[in-house]
Amino acid sequence: MSPDDLKRRIDAIEEGYEFFLAYAAQGLTDDSASKAGEQIRSYLRGFEEALDGLPEAFQARLLEGEAGDAAASTAPGGGAGAAEAVTAALDVLRRDADA
């Protein structure tokens, strides 16, 4: 998976999240007064597409070395500690993506 694809996925999730926060702040009880319902469904589809395979995409990037080297140098304990931290982070990402 390319870095651009991973970035596209993250951007889609972030953009949808920001829209949901703005929508919630309006205090609307339903979507009949605006076109927001259509937008929400569009963002939800984007979320679903972005989350599908996201943990595997992160894992692939880590295995390619660039991100793995960065994780190893910044995780507490480095080395083996970094591997455990990355595994734990991927486990959380898998659970969240499946939820």
Q: Tell me the CA end-to-end span of the chain in Å, nearest whole number.
A: 23
Q: What's the predicted TM-score (pTM) here?
A: 0.70
- Of the CA atoms within 13 Å of residue 78, those in its CB half-sphere come to 3
* pLDDT tens, residue by residue, 6-24: 899 999 999 999 999 998 8
Domain boundaries, the chain: 1-52, 53-99
pLDDT of 48:
93
Cα–Cα distance measured from residue 68 to residue 11, given in angstroms and rounded to the nearest whole number: 21
Alpha helices in the chain (DSSP H): 3-25, 36-51, 54-63, 66-74, 79-98
Q: Are 45 and 12 in contact (CB under 8 A)?
A: no
* pLDDT tens, residue by residue, 25-38: 988 777 776 777 88
* pLDDT tens, residue by residue, 44-91: 999 999 999 999 888 888 877 654 455 555 555 556 677 788 889 999
Q: Which residues contact 39 (CB under 8 A, 6 or more apart)?
A: 19
pLDDT of 66:
53
